[in-house]
Amino acid sequence: MNFRKVNIEQQGKWMYSLSEQLYPICRSITGNGVRQTLSIINDLIPLEISEVPSGTKAFDWEIPNEWNIRDAWIKNPKNEKIVDFKKNNLHILNYSGPVAKKVELKELKNHLFTLPGFPEWIPYRTSYYKLQWGFCLSYNQYKDLEDGEYEVFIDSDLNPGSLTYAQCYIPGKSNKEVLISCHICHPSLCNDNLSGIVIAVNLARLLYMTKPYYSYRFLFVPGTIGSITWLSKNEDKIGNIKHGLVLSLLGDPSAFHYKKSRQGCSEIDQILEYLLKSRKNSKILDFSPYGYDERQYCSPGFNLPVGSLSRKPFGEFPEYHSSADNLDFISPFNLSESLNLMLDIVTVLEGNKAFINTNPKGEPQLGKRGLYDNVGGQGQSKYFQMALLWLLNLSDGNNSLLDIANKSGIEFEVLVSASKKLAKATLLK
């Protein structure tokens, strides 16, 4: 596997353009928006799409009725359409039931959601599990609403149907799996989580062209209910998951934030700690049970080694869950940087073997194998020779290449290359 040849800049543009295509779709935790999204992705990578009927039990949960919406608006007393779902799908309280009636402003206000702190932005709000109806709008618009009778119309339905999710499985040499999960339930919001989706799609596309050691499972699931449903339907597969990442908030320009798995010292945690050391201002956060679907993968009954990768830290930015998280908030360049980190992660994960020194008593004579300077003291390629010495000294079966990188300060890639030379000389196995 060699990702060095990938044109990262080009990939950035490709991912941004896919984001543009997915942006207008009104997604939710169920419904045709999810199906339409998965259909577009299915043209790019092979998906196995599942439909789980409403009413199906998933541990403590139950698949809710399916939600579909066609239109929604508010007309003011002058009969002007002042809020229009067709202009921005954030205007609807996601999962609103149908309504068609006239209401006084005072009653209407019980159904309106705004962001007074950011008066130009429309908030994103949901009510999946309690039937209600509502609209979201900018505070500027809200505060100028005049008294009188308003007409509200929501052409939606909540009927038995199914919850839709998809997987893309890339078989590797081993049946040990790497889980990459992203949520697909947000409507027109970019960083959260079109960025996670397009990076997952792109990584899957690139991995498809290789023969990796690990098998890779990409999950495209609605948040919470989706990952719980997947877990409940795939308990037999969970033992194979050796590493995992939840992807979200990867299109903005912030430094990377990695939240460790609940285990706190799993290999994926170590890999991110290693890779983020050289990424300025990036931060490693301890696990907490709040955030994205790592909450489910790391619930105590599973406790999987799954961390969460993002740039902006979860929830801690004003644009979060608002109309300001739009196509201007992400960029091809930022997406390409995030993809690049994902490629580095895969590279380390795939290359992180533990070797055994076949000649553990004293150092082997590197000189006679052309692996050492002949004139003592004439230091050339010292750094590479140090890599050879560290590998020989620490390859006792207890140290992976990543351990050796951390102990020696030598770059992982140099160790990989040195380990190949030593393996070729049968000094490592």
C-beta separation of 67 from 95 below 8 A: yes
Q: Residue 55 CA to chain centroid, in angstroms?
A: 28
Q: What residues from 230 to 249 belong to the interface with a second copy (CB under 8 A)?
A: 231-232
Mask: binding to a second copy, 384-423, rule CB under 8 A, as x and -? --x--xx-xxxxx----------xx---------------
C-beta separation of 174 from 211 below 8 A: no
- The amino acid sitting at 7 is N
- Residue 351 CA to residue 407 CA, distance in Å, equals 17
Distances 61 to 53, 96, 292, 319 between C-alpha atoms, Å: 13, 20, 17, 30
Three-class DSSP category at 174: coil
- Residue 245 CA to residue 260 CA, distance in Å, equals 10
- Residue 85 CA to residue 342 CA, distance in Å, equals 36
Check binding of 378 to a second copy (CB under 8 A).
Answer: yes
CB nearer a second copy, residue 293 or residue 337: 293
- Residue 120 CA to residue 319 CA, distance in Å, equals 11
CB nearer a second copy, residue 14 or residue 220: 220
CB nearer a second copy, residue 231 or residue 349: 231
Q: What residues from 89 to 108 belong to the interface with a second copy (CB under 8 A)?
A: 93
CB of 394 to a second copy, least distance (A): 7
CB of 334 to a second copy, least distance (A): 24
Q: Residue 21 CA to chain centroid, in angstroms?
A: 18
187 Cβ contact partners less than 8 Å away, ≥ 6 residues apart: 25, 26, 27, 28, 33, 89, 90, 94, 124
Going by the DSSP 8-state scheme, the letter that residue 274 receives in this structure is H
The token pair at 429 is: 């196995």
Nearest to residue 181, comparing CAs of 221, 212, 232, 215?
A: 221
Check binding of 227 to a second copy (CB under 8 A).
Answer: yes
Check binding of 276 to a second copy (CB under 8 A).
Answer: no
CB nearer a second copy, residue 363 or residue 413: 363
Among 109, 289, 318, 383, binds a second copy (CB under 8 A): 289
Check binding of 296 to a second copy (CB under 8 A).
Answer: yes
Among 47, 67, 90, 125, binds a second copy (CB under 8 A): 125
CB of 194 to a second copy, least distance (A): 18
Check binding of 83 to a second copy (CB under 8 A).
Answer: no
Going by the DSSP 8-state scheme, the letter that residue 367 receives in this structure is G
Among 68, 141, 224, 331, binds a second copy (CB under 8 A): 224
- Residue 387 CA to residue 415 CA, distance in Å, equals 6
Among 3, 61, 118, 384, binds a second copy (CB under 8 A): 61
CB of 37 to a second copy, least distance (A): 20
Residues paired with 219 in a beta bridge: 167, 181
Looking at 20-28, 46-54, 162-170, 228-236, which segment touches a second copy (CB under 8 A)?
Answer: 228-236
Check binding of 126 to a second copy (CB under 8 A).
Answer: yes
Looking at 14-22, 47-55, 162-170, 355-363, which segment touches a second copy (CB under 8 A)?
Answer: 355-363
Count of residues engaged in binding a second copy, rule: CB under 8 A: 60
Half-sphere exposure of 183 (CA within 13 A, CB side): 31
Residues paired with 95 in a beta bridge: none
Among 168, 170, 247, 298, binds a second copy (CB under 8 A): 298
Q: Which residues bind a second copy (CB under 8 A)?
A: 58-61, 93, 113, 123-130, 132, 134, 224, 227-228, 231-232, 262, 286, 288-290, 295-296, 298-303, 321, 357, 359-365, 367-368, 374-378, 386, 389-390, 392-396, 407-408
